[in-house]
Amino acid sequence: MKSMLRLSCSAGLGLAGAIFASAGSLAADRDASLYVGVKLCGMCHKKEDSGNQLASWQKGAHSKTFEKLGTPEAKAVAAKLGIADPQKSAKCLKCHSTAYNWTEQIASEKIQPEDGVTCESCHGPGKKYMPKSVMEDRKKCIENGMVYPATKSCELCHNDQSPTWKADRYTTKDGKKTGFDAEQAYEKIKHPNPKVKH
Ligand code: HEC
Ligand code: HEC
Ligand code: HEC
Ligand code: HEC
């Protein structure tokens, strides 16, 4: 049954070869046992004067990617691929939740699929870089697994393997249509720390 689903899914998307081949090594490199979950990140990143990244994430699209899979819109997308319940299908959860870590089964028990796409999907798993002494030093953060700049992570999900991909969703500065433009997309979800000089 599983392989049939995969077949019908890739056929439905009109793709040749393995699904998610374009996710690349950045995703494969991530050790799911090092994820800590949004609650821990949020403990230190909810101060108003430092930009309250937790609140910004909660307001934005990425905290609601699981809920999105419960909408009639999502069910219609899934039905075309032979998937009855997108909130239970790894084919959808692999990009709509950090818990699946781009795999077809839960990769981290510390994170619930319901949490959606959390901090660590973009910034990398945090167990080694989240101690305060490391966090305050960007070089040390990167040495300990932080993905920087985090825009390197966007296209792990924002790519044409997404069943709702629209090749003309964005217009680049020089007028070309494109499915994703990290710079423009980041403007919509940014959560800077006003105390840090950029
Ligand atoms: C113990 C508190 C603490 C925890 C837990 C924590 N951080 Fe931080 N983080 C900091 C501090 C302190 C800084 C330095 C800047 C500042 O003062 O906000 C920082 C900076 C950052 C930066 C900016 C790095 C740079 O070089 O620009 C990112 C991104 C970040 N944290 C993400 C995370 C994520 C994701 C998690 C969860 C995996 C996390 N943090 C957990 C305290 C913490
Ligand atoms: C390759 C990663 C990926 C997979 C797999 C994926 N999605 Fe998504 N999904 C996205 C991204 C990224 C967006 C944001 C819109 C965009 O840029 O495509 C999105 C947006 C959506 C939306 C909102 C529509 C829109 O145009 O913004 C729906 C509904 C949706 N997905 C349903 C599903 C369902 C159902 C499945 C499983 C059959 C699924 N997705 C699998 C990445 C994915
Ligand atoms: C969709 C991807 C994404 C998610 C989800 C996300 N971030 Fe970020 N974040 C970024 C990007 C991109 C930047 C810009 C810096 C960079 O490129 O690394 C950034 C910047 C930051 C900074 C540095 C701010 C500064 O001005 O120096 C902190 C701190 C941070 N994020 C914490 C978090 C925390 C905590 C969460 C979860 C509550 C989170 N982020 C969720 C993509 C993301
Ligand atoms: C783990 C997968 C994943 C990663 C990584 C990811 N996104 Fe998303 N993103 C999604 C999904 C799924 C949605 C759809 C949410 C919805 O429609 O409810 C989405 C929606 C969005 C949206 C709102 C829809 C739109 O296109 O306007 C923006 C903006 C966005 N993402 C920007 C980014 C940026 C910038 C990065 C990298 C810094 C990033 N995302 C990384 C999965 C991801």
CA of 125 to the centre of ligand 2 (A): 22
Q: Is residue 92 scored above 50 in pLDDT?
A: yes
Contact 159, 190 (CB under 8 A): no
Say if residue 189's pLDDT is above 80.
Answer: yes
The token pair at 38 is 């949004």
- What's the pLDDT band for 182 if we cut at 50, 70, 90? very high
The rounded mean pLDDT for the chain is: 88
Q: Would you tell me how many other CB atoms lie within 10 Å of the CB of residue 190?
A: 11
Stretch 39-63: mean pLDDT: 97
Q: Is residue 148 scored above 60 in pLDDT?
A: yes
For residue 1, what pLDDT is reported? 34
> Using 50, 70 and 90 to split pLDDT, how confident is the model at 25?
low
pLDDT at 69 over 90: yes
d(CA 94, CA 138): 29
| Euclidean distance between CA atoms 175 and 9, whole angstroms | 33
Can you tell me which residue has the tokens 């700049």?
149
Q: What is the rounded distance in angstroms from the CA atom of residue 160 to the CA atom of residue 16?
A: 12
Q: Quick check: CB of 51 below 6 Å from ligand 1?
A: no
Q: Which of 14-28, 57-71, 134-148 has the lowest mean pLDDT?
A: 14-28
Q: Nearest 5°: phi and psi at 2?
A: -60, -50
Q: Quick one: which ligand is closest to 184's CA?
A: 4
Pocket test for ligand 4, best of 56, 57, 157, 191 (most atoms within 8 A of CB): 157
* Furthest-apart CA atoms within the chain: distance in Å: 53
Residue 168 pLDDT > 80: yes
Judge whether residue 197 has pLDDT over 90: no
179 CA distance to ligand 4 middle (Å): 12
The ligand with the least distance to the CA atom of 132 is 1
- Compute the C-alpha angle 108/9/29, nearest 5°: 35
Residue whose CA is at the smallest distance from ligand 2 atom 39: 92
Q: How remote is the CA of residue 12 from the centroid of ligand 2, in Å?
A: 14
